[in-house]
Structure 1
Amino acid sequence: MASRASIGTGRAVGGAVHRHQQLSKQGLLERAFTFAFRGLVYAQIWEDPEVDLEALAITPDCHVVTIASGGCNVLSYLTADPKAITAVDLNTAHIALNRLKVAAARHLPDHGAFHRFFAQANRKENIAAYLTYVRPHLDETTRRYWEGRGLIGRRRISGFSRGFYKRGLLGGFIGAAHRIAKLYGVDPRLMLEAKTIEEQRVIFDSKFAPFFDKKFVRWLLDQPASLFGLGIPPAQYEALAGDEPDGMSAVVRQRLEKLACDFALADNYFAWQAFGRGYGEGADAPLPPYLKPANYDSVVDRVDRVEIRHANMCDYLDTMADGSLDRYILLDAQDWMTDEVLTRLWSAITRTAKPGARVLFRTAAEPTLLPGRVPQEILDRWDYRAAESLDYTRRDRSAIYGGVHLYVLK
């Protein structure tokens, strides 16, 4: 039986995703996505926090508002020393993961334990650390989530002893992609053997590029449900496909090529997640900012500035005073939204934004989606940093988005 929390998540996500009649083809796809989105989707967030930190230019007087997702970026933003961070999310599993990370930062004894828990996330010692240091400080709802059982009967917290980054909708999608690739004689972990970007290019061209010419692979990627594992609802699938004449397989190939070939493996933990299903084990393995040893003390000292809310972004903004917020991170959530919801969101952002406030978001397709959908009188209040946005898009190591967009209040 579905838990009350998962049903609540489904209703909340459905309110954001559903655009068509229930029994129409698109309506059925939307409801299938809502069902898939009830549990954990992102064990790790897939927006590059280093790009975010540069674009946001956070200062010590900033109140940052962000969609929580997997929580990696929420804690990474602490390295910029903001006054406060409010993280909101509709997904109860993401809320539980964020609260677990905050409690772990507060109460695990040292960086070694913190690193083992979230960077390795596959050690039995993590369960003992959870029981000793973290569990006593969790609220009942969060504790009940982690000690509850998943579909295969194991307690969810056991994921941190078995490879947590293989969990969730995205982890399952990556695992399925690995299995399909191996059926065609390609082991994705081969990419991790490359020592230079030049070697990465050779491996991609010889091993991965031909994979996308397979009829079954092309057919599979042309099914909107095939990308639910990336957290992509039907409306975003349509935007991602765009006008590409060769279909979705060409889009996915282009994004994977960027991930594989545009950034050195030594500097891109997103590639390690995609090709290795976890972070690297070595001392020099790339990590998100919140897990780097040099940032540990800052994260621990500032973690009490983080507030986690199970809420819709619009609903949260409606509770805030005029001119009270400084930075907004919307991830790719706007790709899901109707024009009506977009207008409500940007009306609330504009009302609550201080002069010089910054809004950062990503889109599946390349262009910003706001012109023609949000009233011009609202957009006229904002300066779209087009050249900077193109540069951030180019440098975003996650490589899966068509555009990274920055708006600054005039």
Structure 2
Amino acid sequence: MSEKHLDEVDHSYIRYANVWEDPKLLLEGLDICHEHKVLSIASAGDNALALLVTNPKIVVAIDLNKPQLYLTELKKVAIQNLDQDAFVKFAGFQDDSRRWRTFMKFRDDLSAEARTYWNGKKEEIEKGIIYNGKFEKYLKTFATKLLPLIHSRKKVQELFEEKSAADQRKFYDQKWNTWRWRLLFRVFFSKLVMGWLGRDPAFLEQVDVDVSTTIFEKAENHLSSIYAQKNPILYYCLNGNFGSYLPFYAREENYENVRGNLDKLEIEYGYAQDAAVKYGQFDRFNLSNIFEYMDEEVFTSTAESLVNIANPGSRFAYWNLMVERQMSEVVEGLSREDDRANWKDRDEGFFYKQFVLETT
């Protein structure tokens, strides 16, 4: 398989400290049971951890970026050693001045590679590991440097206040959607600025749409809907922190369930389709938005390889951001499931073009 789509990608740093894809859609779509073997793109580990609530046979979190794997492992080991209150403080969701001291208590449980990596990241740990990705810093710059030039903190909080669908739309149209908002949004979320500050430019090579216009349209649809009012991803985008929101895996009602299944989470380096060499065939696939970065040839080859390691009745879930890719259009034996339960409107990753679920 051609790997040219990754030749210019820098894998030496943490790109994402959190996962910006909706775990609830993932869980609903994949419908995992205890007999299923799950293959998941690791990224920051959040959704691989979230999948553990289903008590699967195994979840293999795989990635080509080793620092992302070190982050996933750090979250896993921290959860093993800390109760829910201590974990949210250590990770950075709540204030804590003892994060490095906490890390010292469990760092020997990390693999040698991960331990060496984090031993040299004292400042990052003390700040809170959820804020140290390139993408998080990009979004925080928007929230703390640019947005105050457009809207007051009071107005930002008003966006999240509970109100009717009609009143949410009215608030967006009359108070939020100003010319300054439209101008600065389109500049900051342009292809040039996003490639420079947010994502690796190589990840945007396949994009042939106007990036800022596409994202603005998605943001407009979401911010003017009631689904914006309790969206933790949107909250971070507009505040530079998560406030009282926690990701699915770290919430009190899910934490002990995740913690109890951590022995089922395996962390691996490599291409997703190569995982079968060690683990055999899989039943469920969380593919994040990996197809976004591939040209047609590489996409087709990768899709074929993934279907080849899937058991009958398997499910594949993934997102398209700005590049439309659908496995069932290039591989026989796959069919796409219809959107259901208002997935398109509910998706907390509001900037994504579509959530795709396909079955064998």
Task: Please classify the TM superposition score into its range, dividing by the shorter chain length.
Answer: 0.7 to 0.9
Asked if the contact 1:320/1:352 (under 8 Å) is kept, the reply is: no
Aligned runs of 1:9-408 on 2, under 5 Å?
15-18=4-7, 31=8, 34-35=9-10, 38-108=12-82, 110-118=83-91, 120-132=93-105, 134-149=106-121, 155-160=123-128, 164-182=129-147, 184-187=149-152, 190-193=155-158, 194-198=160-164, 200-205=168-173, 206-214=175-183, 218-219=186-187, 221-231=189-199, 233-234=201-202, 236=204, 239=207, 242=209, 247-264=210-227, 267-281=230-244, 286-321=245-280, 324-365=281-322, 367-370=324-327, 374=330, 379-385=331-337, 387-388=338-339, 391-408=342-359
Looking at structure 2, the residues matched to 126 and 219 of structure 1 have their Cα atoms a distance apart, in angstroms, of: 36
User: 1:221 offset after TM fit, Å?
Assistant: 4.2
Aligned-partner residue type, residue 159 of structure 1: K
Distance (Å, rounded) in 1 between the aligned partners of 2:253 and 2:32:
19
Q: Following the alignment from structure 1 to structure 2, what is the Cα–Cα distance between the partners of residues 197 and 238?
A: 39
Contact 2:124 2:132 in 1 (8 A): no
Change (3 A) 1:121 1:338: farther
Residue 208 of structure 1: CA displacement?
4.4
Q: Distance in 2 between matches of 1:370 and 1:229?
A: 30
Indicate conservation of the 8 Å contact 2:303/2:327, yes or no.
no
CA distance in 1, matches of 2:156, 2:241: 14
Which is further off, 332-341 or 399-408? 332-341
Please report how far the alpha carbon of residue 382 of structure 1 lies from its aligned counterpart in structure 2 after TM superposition.
0.9
Identity of aligned residues (%): 22
Three-state SS of the structure 1 residue aligned to 2:275 is helix
Deviates more, 1:178-187 or 1:45-54: 178-187
> What is the deviation of 1:271?
1.8
Q: Report the Cα offset of residue 304 of structure 1.
A: 0.7
Q: Compared with structure 1, are the counterparts of its residues 235 and 380 closer, same or farther at alpha carbon in structure 2 (3 Å cutoff)?
A: same
CA contact (8 A) 2:236 2:242 kept: yes
The answer to whether the Cα contact below 8 Å between 1:197 and 1:264 also exists between their aligned partners in 2 is no
SS of alignment partner, residue 243 of structure 2: coil
Report how many residues are paired: 354
Q: Higher relative contact order by CA 8 Å / sep ≥ 6: 1 or 2?
A: 2
The 1-side partners of 2:98 and 2:316 are apart by: 40
CA deviations on 1:195-226 (whole Å, 9 max, x unpaired) are: 22456545543234423543x65455444343
Q: 1:312 to 1:367 in 2, by over 3 A?
A: closer
Contact conserved, 2:143 with 2:237, CA < 8 A, in 1? no
Aligned partner of residue 107 in structure 2, secondary structure: helix
Consecutive unaligned residues in structure 1, runs of 5 or more: 1-13, 19-30
> Structure 1 residues 131, 222: closer, same or farther in 2, change over 3 A?
closer
Amino acid at match of 1:308: I
Contact kept? 2:44, 2:72, Cα under 8 Å: yes
Asked whether the equivalents of residues 364 and 401 of structure 1 are also in contact (C-alpha less than 8 Å), the reply is yes
Task: Give 1:38 shift.
Answer: 3.2
Structure 2: which 5+ residue stretches go unaligned? none
Q: Is the 8 A contact 2:318 2:357 kept in 1?
A: yes
SS at match of 1:124: coil
Return the alpha-carbon distance in structure 1 between the equivalents of residues 111 and 15 of structure 2. 22
- The change in CA–CA distance for 1:366 and 1:73 in structure 2 (over 3 A counts) is same
* Partners of 2:57 and 2:179 in 1: CA distance: 49
| C-alpha deviation, 1:75, in angstroms | 0.9
Calculate the TM-score normalised by the size of structure 2: 0.87
3-state DSSP class of the match of 2:241? coil
- Runs (4 or more) in structure 1 with deviation over 6 Å come to none
The change in CA–CA distance for 1:408 and 1:225 in structure 2 (over 3 A counts) is same
1:120 aligned partner, one-letter code: F
The letter for the 2-side match of 1:400 is F
> How many angstroms does 1:93 deviate by?
1.8
1:252 to partner: Cα distance: 2.3
1:304-332 CA distances to partner (integer Å, 9 max, x unpaired)? 100011212133245554xx210011111
